[in-house]
Structure 1
């Protein structure tokens, strides 16, 4: 029975297999079902937890596969709270201080959701227990940084959608460095690495991007980071209040460094010249070394002016500036009696060379020349200090050193000196100076020189110049060379020095001088008509001529020290007095051989030299034989230092110098003793007060006509010496920081302010006024450096004073002919508000000097200034309010009064 069962099972399987084989040979019938591609993709990367990174699979990808790898690098991610993987959503969740890094892309946020199927990430903020959002997303790709509320980014396409984005663009080139433009937008679409599209955006330079004090609202814009923003309708908002300032479209350059562009003018109304546009023009950076700016002024009455400025610099070689200003001024109208036209100009050039670029040669220039009335009559005057300058000077020089022994120094210099009051101009075109180093013929070059013989030395010096004296009206005209004087002077000084009795230093020497000239002058009566001509005829004789002069001199001096000790336990431990007396003698012979005579109308012989009136003058006709006396004094004190850790006492200078000098002329018939000259200087209160004084003391008396006579004053019933002239000057600087605990604060607090004051053209103490140009206000503190406590009792201030007085008693007039006080100061009423003043008073003429008042207010993103000269020739006021950043510095409003035409 059991065998039958197995037989039946075998037959059943055999029949079933035969039927199946027969079925497979039949054709396949297609089903009516449409094939659809599966949209679900497997992850392209294995999931790692927390701080792990994606690692490459060691199994090589099949080369026959045509699928493109989209991710080109590793993705690193981490989070502080948790990292959650959802296989269902195909996403990774990162929470609290989440971070993702992929190639040059960096993303940080409170929460990040990464879809590893779509290769997208979403980042946003998180809310704390109090309902406050924190951990804003930080998105950085390359050099571009965006801080939005949320962001959606695709790794494959590099596109992104950004909500409430905030980014910062460095642009411009201000005096304190590059400024930053903040770009804010409700929605930003990142098209690629270089193009963004903005919707409902804001542009501002305010530090506060959450609640900016001003911004430019743009509806739609194309944003190219680091280059430009091109916007549609844009208008200016001030504290979220729209203003009428609007444009149908706008272009905002964001390039860093120097870029070409327009300089917007300011509008005004001059009562003398009509409506005007001033300070408008164009800026052009020619290349990386040179730039050029052109500014112009135009008035409706026809007056105009222009200014060209070029700055150039080549690192480690040279740098300089060329500044030319010209004005064509028209007064009144044609046909009126008071109509006139004047032209003014000014040229300023500075050039300096880096000493390392050429150690043996140097070229430098400092030029300031032009019309004498330019700074006083210019209609575009911005620096009040320049109106107080009565002198314009220039110097252009080239120097060369030949280092081989004996070394020779040579320089070629052209100078210019112009008095703007008298309009006199003195030029040297050029001056040649050459000198050979000192030679010791009786001593080894590198050895120590001892004694009379070894210290014998000599030099050679040459000075040749072409000097021109002219006036402002003849400058740069053919007549300016009519009074030119050309000459040269060769000098050969010889000297030696040695010790006598160990403590006395003796110097003996002589000087030989050879003077050359290329024209001389002959004097006399006109031989053709001696009766009618009472004037001396001056004939110019052209041609080379020369004379020589020489002399000898000697001096002996020593140094005496005196110390008075009080003890180391005293506050003043010691006084030290140093005295340096010196006696000298000099002798020069008479040079009658260079003198001639002529007979005047009265038949008297007049002695003269043909070299009188030449560049270097004539040699002396009288013999010189005189003795000089001088006495130098210094006085110092050693005091105990207030610092208990100091190991040495502190040295204080009581008298920096106190000098006396006089001379005695052996050849004079009378009044052989010259007046005694005295000068001295000292400083007090830790060098805050500087005192300088000088005077003359005359041993001779005067007669009833005020003339000195050969009678000593003491024999005439007076004092031993008669005080004839005197001068006293004192300057004092004070500030609130002096009375504080930190004594270094005054210098640190004034460092930036002094730089601004010097740049505006005046002295650092503002005693002669301060600048009226808003472009010079670079001394504002950075916003983060301003301390603004809720309750503050600090009122920083500084004060500089200078008092000068002169005394004259040469004719017993007992007269103080000069007494004036100059002062300037500033008070910081609040951390962002300060007031400053500059003025002076003349006690002799009983009047105020030029007075100037200034008010400045730091309005965070804005600067507000008002400067006022209330009276005087330069009576003027200036008001300015504008954006501090150089990017939008043309968004401003300024107005200034015009000085009256005098």
Structure 2
């Protein structure tokens, strides 16, 4: 296809079936014809050049077309010698990289015999003492390039007789022992075969074509044909077939797979129709049909416009029926899913972008419609997020605009949060008083004053999946506009301190407010009335902050650390901030209201205060004055050690990447002036990242009249002689290691540099080795015999085969401690601990055998998490894989043996069990 066109097709139409289905479905084959370029150059002489010296080296010549009955001169060249007969018969013998050129036809071979009288040429290769042929003829014309053992070609009639021709048709090959080429460039072959295996001499499988005609770039028409696997003919044949060989895509039927499940019965699955609409987009409609009336329908489409955009869209609707009608366990579920991904090319427009990432489905879709190979990450996913975004940047101005549609789903409790639209206008930070042309003078303090602005409009709704369509707009939707204007100044104080005073102003626009009252019948506070209309709610605050850094250097004790550790450095970054916010609960603002009611349980009058904008989209200004001092300190610790590779140099090793503490004190609060203390940290030990954190409370606990625990305005030190009480803690780390990491560690320990050593292809991953699969040797498999010529690259110095065992293991652990039940006697919370460990890995006994696994364990529930085992084997042009889920709700297996080529992706055998047949699935 033209390189400027868009290649978005997925290969639904290139399929072959060895059964009788092939008779019908072969009408929809689609094979691209590959062009092979020739890089050799031809030196030519003028038309009157007839005779060349005997045994001359690197000579060339040409024949005069006059009187020969051909349209143009025939040019020829050879590396070793050109021998011309002297008896007037006009025969030329070319030896050594011989080449003959006529019009748009080029023929190369080790030896070429050219008869100018009869316009015939005969080309063939040469064999060495071991019978290995080299310099085989390659014939190239406008229809393509072909390799063969021998060819006899007539320039005048444009016909040829060929022995053992190999033509590449897209991902497949047509090979024939004998073929006849017609003037229209078509081939008539006998006892040929079609296969995607590139081992032409002994393909692992092929479709034997007893008689066939190949029309390059159009189609291949064959008579009786049958399937051959490992040189064993199978009793699977067809009377005839038509295989399209066009370079463009075509529409066609997608044949379904069939099978049986114990729960849903017999089925036809993934059958449908593929529509190659154009070079810009395509579409596939597939469906499933089960004997118990379960069914499913899917639509998939890809689109692409070069230098503009690309994307894909997938829609699914599936109905699952369980058990039989009138039985107590009968159930019927209807699930849908929409996936849309749209990407704009970065070159399309530098000032505006449009993108989409939609993953929306019914809450039970992932659980009810598992695939053959179950993805544990997908099953553990409880939240789905979708977004459609448009952004616009205005050049030569600080303004930016964005519009979004956002959706979030919680599949566990079926809650959906939808925001449409979400509009944002921002003004980047500007310095309104900064002079454009400063001459000589220092920058004044007021020139450092910065200003920015953000406006956001949102319309949102949170509801359960089943009630989402019943919510009315705008009464039950939350909407509003928020304006934020931060003003700040950055100053240097006493050379080592940075002082940042700031003012923050926030204004909210709402369309309604609420009024609450006590409902005596229900015995609770309810919303009595909603007042619609424009509502303006604003607040502001003042703050000033400062920060600095302290550096401390330690010289370690030499008797303990020796001279290897040079210095240990501790960096402490303290910061403090002072902020003030007025009491926006004052009656003059009108943001809050109150009422009194009699509570018979307490036998008292209760004063209930509430916000008129409770539950509003952007919240309500805070109630009560706030004058807070915020304190935080950050720490890092690293040491400077001598490098093992450089005797004069040093390297830095981080002992503690971060250790942070933060808290605040509200001077104007009536009680509980200190906030909780937060701690977080990160370090790395033996290449493993460790993250930890905790929350501490400095106040004691008591109970209310109803027995509920509550913080009281008494310090924990005064009540229990303790500084703080731990409320929560967390720890997590991930560890990954493998053969490559151990190899690099050994090289560093031994002082060797692997980059300076000669690269050994046997050490490379499979995808980085030679392109020819025959050069990737299976050290323990029977493919070793097929690659005798490459054995020396896999031998060690003693002549033994090198054995590589690449492997990788990843381990992730998480620990969480939180408050559990409250113990009234001890006046403390019981601690609740949850932890789990997950691991996965893979290893390869040979480059063609690969084993992978993933599993885990939850210590809280004391159960094994989703486990998946996979074994795969590369069988050259075939692939084999076995997936097993041995335990749990999704217990199942899946075995498949298939052709690797996408052209014959449906030439396969699979055997599976459905997770739905597991009694614990429902």
Same fold flag (TM > 0.5): yes
Aligned partners of 2:285 and 2:299 also within 8 Å? yes
Separation in structure 2 between the aligned mates of residue 676 and residue 510 of structure 1, nearest angstrom? 26
After superposition, give the CA deviation of every residue in 1:241-288 in whole Å (9 maximum; x if it has no partner).
012332222233334464433322211112222211111222223222
3-state SS, counterpart of residue 353 of structure 2:
strand
Q: Does 1:499 align with 2:501?
A: no
What is the 5 A alignment of 1:644-655?
644=646, 649-655=650-656
What is the 5 A alignment of 1:470-869?
470-477=463-470, 483-524=476-517, 536-564=526-554, 570-591=563-584, 592-593=586-587, 594=590, 595-601=592-598, 604-644=606-646, 649-685=650-686, 688-702=687-701, 707-716=710-719, 718-741=721-744, 783=773, 786-789=776-779, 791-808=801-818, 812=828, 815=831, 817-869=833-885
Separation in structure 2 between the aligned mates of residue 538 and residue 781 of structure 1, nearest angstrom? 75
Aligned partners of 2:59 and 2:82 also within 8 Å? no
Between 223-232 and 884-893, report the one with greater CA deviation: 223-232
Cα distance 1:508–1:45, how it changes in 2: closer, same or farther (>3 A)?
Answer: closer
Separation in structure 1 between the aligned mates of residue 913 and residue 729 of structure 2, nearest angstrom? 43
Aligned partners of 1:427 and 1:467 also within 8 Å? yes
Cα distance 1:543–1:851, how it changes in 2: closer, same or farther (>3 A)?
Answer: same
Aligned partners of 1:474 and 1:480 also within 8 Å? no
Aligned partners of 2:471 and 2:477 also within 8 Å? no
Separation in structure 1 between the aligned mates of residue 412 and residue 328 of structure 2, nearest angstrom? 27
Partner of 2:139 in structure 1? 139
Offset of residue 197 of structure 1: 1.1
Aligned partners of 2:121 and 2:153 also within 8 Å? yes
Q: Which has the higher contact order (CA 8 A, sep 6+)?
A: 2
Separation in structure 1 between the aligned mates of residue 841 and residue 775 of structure 2, nearest angstrom? 22
What is the 5 A alignment of 1:873-892?
873-892=889-908
Partner of 1:109 in structure 2? 109
Cα distance 1:740–1:604, how it changes in 2: closer, same or farther (>3 A)?
Answer: closer
Cα distance 1:193–1:736, how it changes in 2: closer, same or farther (>3 A)?
Answer: farther
Listed as ranges, the gaps of 5+ residues in structure 1 are 1-42, 62-66, 172-179, 756-777
Listed as ranges, the gaps of 5+ residues in structure 2 are 1-46, 600-604, 781-800, 823-827
Offset of residue 357 of structure 1: 1.8
Separation in structure 1 between the aligned mates of residue 691 and residue 523 of structure 2, nearest angstrom? 54
Partner of 2:162 in structure 1? 162
Between 799-808 and 693-702, report the one with greater CA deviation: 693-702
Offset of residue 494 of structure 1: 1.4
Separation in structure 1 between the aligned mates of residue 314 and residue 325 of structure 2, nearest angstrom? 32
Cα distance 1:53–1:545, how it changes in 2: closer, same or farther (>3 A)?
Answer: same
After superposition, give the CA deviation of every residue in 1:583-613 in whole Å (9 maximum; x if it has no partner).
1111111122222233424665433332223
Offset of residue 805 of structure 1: 0.5
After superposition, give the CA deviation of every residue in 1:755-804 in whole Å (9 maximum; x if it has no partner).
9xxxxxxxxxxxxxxxxxxxxxx999972563434733211100011011
Offset of residue 443 of structure 1: 1.6
Partner of 1:386 in structure 2? 378
Offset of residue 647 of structure 1: 7.6
Aligned partners of 1:661 and 1:677 also within 8 Å? yes
Separation in structure 2 between the aligned mates of residue 561 and residue 148 of structure 1, nearest angstrom? 77
Aligned partners of 1:44 and 1:116 also within 8 Å? no
Cα distance 1:119–1:782, how it changes in 2: closer, same or farther (>3 A)?
Answer: closer
Offset of residue 379 of structure 1: 5.8
After superposition, give the CA deviation of every residue in 1:93-151 in whole Å (9 maximum; x if it has no partner).
33454333333333233432221110101122334445554432232224622222211
Offset of residue 867 of structure 1: 0.6
Cα distance 1:376–1:113, how it changes in 2: closer, same or farther (>3 A)?
Answer: same
Offset of residue 474 of structure 1: 2.7
Aligned length: 812
Aligned partners of 1:451 and 1:499 also within 8 Å? no
Cα distance 1:82–1:643, how it changes in 2: closer, same or farther (>3 A)?
Answer: farther
Offset of residue 689 of structure 1: 1.5
Q: CA RMSD in A?
A: 3.3
Cα distance 1:213–1:86, how it changes in 2: closer, same or farther (>3 A)?
Answer: farther
After superposition, give the CA deviation of every residue in 1:354-376 in whole Å (9 maximum; x if it has no partner).
23322221111111112110111
Between 373-382 and 453-462, report the one with greater CA deviation: 373-382
Between 286-295 and 450-459, report the one with greater CA deviation: 450-459
What is the 5 A alignment of 1:127-526?
127-129=127-129, 133-142=133-142, 144-169=144-169, 171=170, 180-256=171-247, 258-336=249-327, 338-378=329-369, 380=371, 382-384=373-375, 385-405=377-397, 407-445=398-436, 450=443, 452-477=445-470, 483-524=476-517
Cα distance 1:598–1:711, how it changes in 2: closer, same or farther (>3 A)?
Answer: closer
3-state SS, counterpart of residue 147 of structure 1:
strand
3-state SS, counterpart of residue 468 of structure 2:
coil
Separation in structure 2 between the aligned mates of residue 334 and residue 676 of structure 1, nearest angstrom? 59
3-state SS, counterpart of residue 453 of structure 1:
helix
Offset of residue 822 of structure 1: 0.3
Offset of residue 823 of structure 1: 0.2
Partner of 2:38 in structure 1? none
Aligned partners of 2:89 and 2:117 also within 8 Å? no
Aligned partners of 2:307 and 2:345 also within 8 Å? yes
Partner of 1:91 in structure 2? 91
After superposition, give the CA deviation of every residue in 1:850-881 in whole Å (9 maximum; x if it has no partner).
00100101011111011111121222211111
Cα distance 1:561–1:620, how it changes in 2: closer, same or farther (>3 A)?
Answer: same
Separation in structure 2 between the aligned mates of residue 361 and residue 102 of structure 1, nearest angstrom? 55
Separation in structure 2 between the aligned mates of residue 97 and residue 533 of structure 1, nearest angstrom? 101
Partner of 1:22 in structure 2? none
After superposition, give the CA deviation of every residue in 1:419-455 in whole Å (9 maximum; x if it has no partner).
0010001111111111112232322257698454222
Aligned partners of 1:551 and 1:589 also within 8 Å? yes
Separation in structure 1 between the aligned mates of residue 724 and residue 714 of structure 2, nearest angstrom? 12
Between 257-266 and 737-746, report the one with greater CA deviation: 737-746
Aligned partners of 1:459 and 1:492 also within 8 Å? yes
Between 704-713 and 229-238, report the one with greater CA deviation: 704-713
Offset of residue 660 of structure 1: 0.6
3-state SS, counterpart of residue 671 of structure 2:
coil
Cα distance 1:374–1:647, how it changes in 2: closer, same or farther (>3 A)?
Answer: farther
After superposition, give the CA deviation of every residue in 1:377-396 in whole Å (9 maximum; x if it has no partner).
01656542322211111111
Aligned partners of 1:470 and 1:480 also within 8 Å? no
Aligned partners of 1:519 and 1:614 also within 8 Å? no
Instruction: Give TM-score, length-normalised by structure 2.
Output: 0.82
Cα distance 1:99–1:458, how it changes in 2: closer, same or farther (>3 A)?
Answer: closer
3-state SS, counterpart of residue 741 of structure 2:
helix
Separation in structure 2 between the aligned mates of residue 564 and residue 302 of structure 1, nearest angstrom? 76
Aligned partners of 1:691 and 1:731 also within 8 Å? yes
Cα distance 1:327–1:500, how it changes in 2: closer, same or farther (>3 A)?
Answer: same
After superposition, give the CA deviation of every residue in 1:807-861 in whole Å (9 maximum; x if it has no partner).
2368655635211110000110122111111000112222110001001010111
Partner of 2:783 in structure 1? none
